[in-house]
Every structure is written in C-alpha cells, then in structure tokens.
Structure 1
Amino acid sequence: MESNQIVLHNIKKLTGEEVDLVIKEGKIADVTEPGSGEGAVINCTGMFVSSGWIDLHVHAFPEFNPYGDEIDEIGVKQGVTTIVDAGSTGANRMGELSANSRRAKTNVFAFLNISKIGLERVDELSNLEWIDRQAIHDAVRLNEDIVIGLKARISQSVVKENGVEPLLIARELSDETSKPLMVHIGSGPPHIEEVIPLLQTNDVITHYLNGKENNLFDKEGRPLSVLMDAISRGVHLDVGHGTASFSFKVAEAAKANNVHFDTISTDMYKGNRLNGPVYSMANLLTKFLSIGYSLEEVINGVTVNAANWLGKPELGRIRVGEPANLTLFSLKDQEVKLVDSLGDERISKTTINAEGVFVHGEYIKC
C-alpha cells in the first residue's frame, strides 16, 4: 500500500459513475474502480466530486465595511477553492489584498477597482479624481499574479452625477492594460442602454439577474436588445447574487428565454453570508437547481465556465497527473426554503451541500 496516497473512495462523478480517486503528493494519480485504490481511505459514499468551485465575484478584504470578509471564510469553508475578489480594492491597497492571498488556503484572483480608493467608500466613482490612470497601470504591473481584470460599479449610488463617464474611462483603461472589464449594473441613471453597448468580448456583466427597474429584461420578462447584442459579441453573464441583485422572477424569465448564465457567483461578504440572502455557495447553487437547471449545468457555472473565463482551464478539469483541485459535495432529498434579494421565496426538494475540498495537497472538510 502507498502510505502517501489518499483515496477518495466510492465518490461519484457528475454522471453518477462511482470511482475511487487516488491522490498522491497533491496530484491525481489514478481514477479507478471502487475498492481498487490503495492508500489512506476517505469514505465518500454518497458524495459527488467536481473540479474545485470558483466564485467569480466576492469581497475578500475584511478591512472594508460593509463589503468585506476573510478569504477562507468565503473560500474553502464554502467548498470554493478559488475566489475572485470583485473590486474591493483599488490601486491604493491592491498590494495588501495580494499579500493576504498568500496566507490563505483558497486560491485568489482579483478585479482591480478603477477607483484608487476601492470600497473604502461605496460611492467610489462619484469623484473622477479618484480614477488615477498611472496608479492603475502600476497596480496591474506590480500585481500581475493576481489582477485578472478591472472593475467598475456603474449604478447611480456609486457614480452619483458622473453618469456613464467612469465607464468610458474604464473602457480606455481596459484597452490600455489588456484587462477585461467586470461591470456592476444596478439602479440608474445611467440607463442600462447606455452601459451595455460599451462592453466587449470577454467583459463581464455581473448582477445580470437583478430585479431592479434598470435591468436587462422588459416588464414581460423578455431580454432587451442590448443584452442580446452583448451576448452575440461574447460578453460574459455572471450572476453576482449579493444582497440586492438576484431575482427569482428575472432568473426564471431569463431561462424561459434561453438567456443562460455563464458563471454563478455569490457577491458574498460577511453580512450576506451570516444574515442572508446569500448564506453560501451551496445555497445559491440549490437556487438554480430549483429553477430547473440540471446538476451538470449548475456545477459547470462554478467550474468549467469560470476556469475558461479566467484563462486557466486546468482549474476546471480532473485529470491524472495534474494537481488535485477538487470540491466534494452531496445532494440531499430534503426540503429547503430559498429566498432571493427581493424576499421572494421558492421551495426546493433537493439541496446541494458542500462537504470538503482538496487544494494545495490538503483535504479540508467543510
């Protein structure tokens, strides 16, 4: 017996096939018939395995209030092996977020807020002097291991009287740095039809299922033409549930009109983790099961699709010889009440539960 091997015994692939997954020195050594793997056994009967869940929109800088949390609280403890901080920090403090990430068990990437103050204030784009172009270029260069894009929150409470001007500047900075944009949409002005045409291939619309008046669907639930045009250009649709940005009714209308998510993300921070309506990544994934998406579609939204957007497809696959980056989860036949950002409720008879992760050579139980 290989004493330095770990066997995830009798674990299910998404297809339902049961296997033994053998891990040696932090890498996947074999995928074999149940009972044939050799090593220290972790009994995973009844559990599923996927590549490690990726949350494309969180807030992981605990110094900022209200939008902040500890990295591992919204990472590995949620069954999430990789998080992407969505603009918590600007150029002033991106170096601190990068340093924090090196002490965490969770993999961390980040969108750089185009405002140098980040979420130190929640109207960070109300003063255009806080967009320091040279500081942005320097922060991207100095933190190239973590910065994967730029973030602009384009809603009235953030931009105040500046309208769409911060997004026009963000567009220029995106082109200059070769970094895609993640754009938060919310209450107007600026109107959604001013915002979406400025987005290009590989840019991200986050909060695309929000139930605010200034959203991407008409009163009958049909997608606006600016949304369909954006999809045809290759703009990426991200959920970004958050405290105020996910509506069951909008999500159901989107599905009925074949406007499907690319990635499922939580927009999690301490407040909406402890007090809802987000609670956990597993709770959010259960919401999409309740809407009628298949398990494979839901899990792809936090694995393959997210990994491909990041340009790191290896994070979205399970392959012999590669590092074991895994999430273990279960499906339970139990009724659960689910609540969206508007207080609307749905009942699901199936619940997804995160059970553990394997990352950086370590198994961590959730």
Structure 2
Amino acid sequence: MENFVLRHVKRVNGEEIDIVIEEGKIAQVMMAGSGQGEHVIDCSGLFVSSGWIDLHVHAFPEFDPYGDEIDEIGVKQGVTTIVDAGSCGADRIADLAASSKKAKTNVYAFLNISRIGLERIDELSRLEWIDKGKVVQAVKDYKEIIVGLKARISKSVVCENGIEPLKIARALSSETDLPLMVHIGSGPPKIEDIIPLLEKGDVITHYLNGKQNNLFDEHENPRQVLKDAIKRGVHLDVGHGTASFSFKVAEAAKRHHIALNTISTDIYRRNRINGPVYSMANVLTKFLSLGYSLEEVIAAVTINAANWLKKPELGRIKAGDAANLTLFAVKKEPITLIDSEGEKRVSDQRIETKGVVANGEFIEC
C-alpha cells in the first residue's frame, strides 16, 4: 500500500486532520475528510503523532540479558525510531549496523566505550577493554548510525575503576565530537563525582531511579549536582528499565518542576515480556498517571527526542518529510501500573498503540 490516506486522525491538541501518504512521504496534511487517495484508512477516534522515538533500548538479541529483536521493540511497540543505548562496542557495532538495514524500524546507536559492549555486564571493570583507537575508528566507520558514546557508571559495571572510565569517555567525547549518555545507578562512584563531568548535550539516563545513589536527597529534594547539570544543558532521559524508575522519585521531580526531556524504556526481551516495562505505551501511561498532559508526554517521545538527535524532521508532521507516524488511542479504562521498586499506581486511563507508518509503510500494532 504505497499511497493511502489516514482519515479523521486527531493531533494531541484535538485538531482532526487527514494525512495523505505517497511514495513513502507525507504528501499532504489537510482538513479532516478531504484527503483523497488510492486507499483510505478510517482512523476515527485515534490520535496521531510523529513517530515515537525511544532514546534508550537494547536491540542486539545475541547479548543476554540485555537484548531483543529490533522490530519487537520498535514498530511493534508503536515506535518508529530506536536508539540502541550501548549494547555494542567497537567489536560488534558492525553487526548491529547490518541488522538495522533489515529492520522496518529506524535505528541509531550509542557506541559503548568498552569494545566488548554488553557481552558482559561488567564491561568497564577492565580498562584495557576501552580501546580508544577502536572507538574512534568505529565512529568514523559507522557515522550514519552512531549518535553518541555510552558509559555505564555504576558499581557493578566499573567495579574497582571508580570514575576513571568516565574520565576516559569524556576525552573520547571531545575527540569524536559526540555527546555522552551516562547510565547512573548504585555507587560508588558517588553521584556527586559523576554529574559534574557531564556537559551540555550529554544525557543522564535513569535520572528517576530509586537507588540510594540517586539525584534526589533523603527529603526528595533535587541534589545541587542535578540543578547545576540542568543549568548547563545536560539532557535528562528516563530509561525506565528493570531497576531504574521509581514513582516516588518521579513524583518528587514533578513537584520540583524538573523538566520532562525524554521518556525512554530501556526495553529488552525480559522486561518487555515480564515487566515492569512491557511497552512504550505502558511507560507513557505512567507519566499520564503522574499528572503530565498528553501533549507533554507525547512531546517527550517525539519533538524532544528528535531535537536531541538533531533530526527535527522526525518530530513533526509536515508535507515532504518521510512518513514516520504513530497511531494510538487513549482509553478511559483503569490500569494498574508498576515501577522498578514494585510500587503500584492505578490510572483511570491508558495509552494503547494501534499502528505506525514507518517510512511510508502502514503497519498495524
């Protein structure tokens, strides 16, 4: 179905429109009911946004536990663009790049500074695994998909190396002119030693985690290092995952008006099937339950993510752009939601994905 019309879709602001897709591109965005095309898809009652972008996934199925098939965590989730968050280092980035060409989902990646990537989950425990020359060469060879460097700076990953891997990552960031995504978790190293090394455009992922070494103090106030990072322009990414999202911390962030930058899942096979992640729609529903508006929630997986990627076309619905769209409903039905700490919340509404247009191809979810 190369040419078709999505009829009577609603933007998140409630405006009803028709979207005409021709030869993989958005041909026209027009008044609801007026679009003409070879095939008409009635989308009455559905919302449309630019295609959802998940800034933190694990899409290299050969690695266990952190791996999954690209389209299982991409288009089948209503997500048209994924960013693999450091599954692969220099040793395997070629394999990820090759598999991305066979997928329907658009794929970008953070390159793990450890050449072995997530082949092991203590990938920064030996400094010789950080091969600077291989990092620089991989960035040159795979510049079409690599958007940044990934360093997981928590106790189980760095072991006795403390903050040293992050200092090396900072130097590699300067050499390659790429931003860092830094995973935060259990210490040491202490959060006060990690965050000051991050600069404008770098990403803190797992910023709402409920571990002791987090960005909020015992009174649920933001630590000074977080406030300073926000002033510097460091980007905050959710990265829900199995162990990195706390309702209590997220509620504290909202109380203190910490801006919602990007919502990502940190999804892989195990937490997709068994929870607590399940899907992008489930994670977005959690933010609706926290009191964020639909506009704020969807912006966090469209406009905000696209702007961080420096690909604004991925965050808009505009004639002439490649057709990457997400269709979803907001159901007025109760749902029990669970965070990474086992805490539960009940929401009276939930987001449900219905389909995507991925580079002009309509795919039902």
Q: Over the residues paired in the alignment, what is the CA RMSD in angstroms?
A: 0.9
Paired position in structure 2 for 1:270: 269
Paired position in structure 1 for 2:333: 334
Aligned equivalents of 1:299 and 1:181: distance in 2? 24
* Amino acid in structure 2 at the alignment position of 1:316: G
Aligned equivalents of 1:312 and 1:33: distance in 2? 27
Percent of aligned positions that are identical: 68
Q: How does 1:26-175 map to 2 (within 5 A)?
A: 26-39=24-37, 40-175=39-174
Ranges in structure 1 where 5+ consecutive residues have no aligned partner: none
Aligned equivalents of 2:56 and 2:308: distance in 1? 13
SS in 2 for 1:187: coil
**Per-residue CA distance 1:250-301 (angstroms, 9 max, x = gap):** 0000000011221000000000000000000000000000000000000000
Kept in 2, the 8 Å contact 1:248–1:340? The answer is yes
Kept in 2, the 8 Å contact 1:330–1:355? The answer is yes
Kept in 1, the 8 Å contact 2:109–2:145? The answer is yes
Shift of 1:4: 5.9
* Amino acid in structure 2 at the alignment position of 1:297: E
Aligned equivalents of 2:94 and 2:277: distance in 1? 28
SS in 2 for 1:205: strand
Kept in 1, the 8 Å contact 2:136–2:176? The answer is yes
Aligned equivalents of 1:254 and 1:173: distance in 2? 31
Aligned equivalents of 2:274 and 2:28: distance in 1? 41
SS in 1 for 2:229: helix
* Amino acid in structure 1 at the alignment position of 2:123: E
Kept in 1, the 8 Å contact 2:25–2:359? The answer is no
Ranges in structure 2 where 5+ consecutive residues have no aligned partner: none
Aligned equivalents of 2:47 and 2:286: distance in 1? 18
Aligned equivalents of 1:291 and 1:318: distance in 2? 27
Kept in 2, the 8 Å contact 1:67–1:270? The answer is yes
Q: Give the TM-score normalised by structure 1.
A: 0.98
Q: How does 1:275-294 map to 2 (within 5 A)?
A: 275-294=274-293
Aligned equivalents of 2:134 and 2:172: distance in 1? 11
Kept in 2, the 8 Å contact 1:28–1:321? The answer is yes
Aligned equivalents of 2:2 and 2:236: distance in 1? 42
Paired position in structure 2 for 1:309: 308
Paired position in structure 2 for 1:25: 23
Kept in 2, the 8 Å contact 1:5–1:38? The answer is no
Say if 2:30 is the partner of 1:11: no
**Per-residue CA distance 1:209-268 (angstroms, 9 max, x = gap):** 000000000111110000000000000000000000000000000000011221000000
Q: How does 1:109-258 map to 2 (within 5 A)?
A: 109-258=108-257
Kept in 2, the 8 Å contact 1:56–1:85? The answer is yes
* Amino acid in structure 2 at the alignment position of 1:41: V
Kept in 2, the 8 Å contact 1:76–1:106? The answer is yes
Aligned equivalents of 1:41 and 1:178: distance in 2? 45
Shift of 1:28: 1.4
Moved more, 20-29 or 3-12: 3-12
**Per-residue CA distance 1:290-334 (angstroms, 9 max, x = gap):** 000000000000000000000100000001122111000100000
Paired position in structure 1 for 2:319: 320
* Amino acid in structure 1 at the alignment position of 2:22: K
Aligned equivalents of 1:232 and 1:317: distance in 2? 27
Aligned equivalents of 2:188 and 2:307: distance in 1? 33
SS in 1 for 2:122: coil
The runs of 4+ residues in structure 1 deviating greater than 4 Å are: none
Aligned equivalents of 1:84 and 1:32: distance in 2? 31
Moved more, 140-149 or 19-28: 19-28
Aligned equivalents of 1:21 and 1:266: distance in 2? 28
- Give the length in aligned residue pairs: 364
* Amino acid in structure 2 at the alignment position of 1:58: V
Moved more, 30-39 or 232-241: 30-39
**Per-residue CA distance 1:72-130 (angstroms, 9 max, x = gap):** 00000000000000000000000000001000000000000000000000000000000
Aligned equivalents of 1:17 and 1:143: distance in 2? 40
Kept in 2, the 8 Å contact 1:27–1:361? The answer is yes
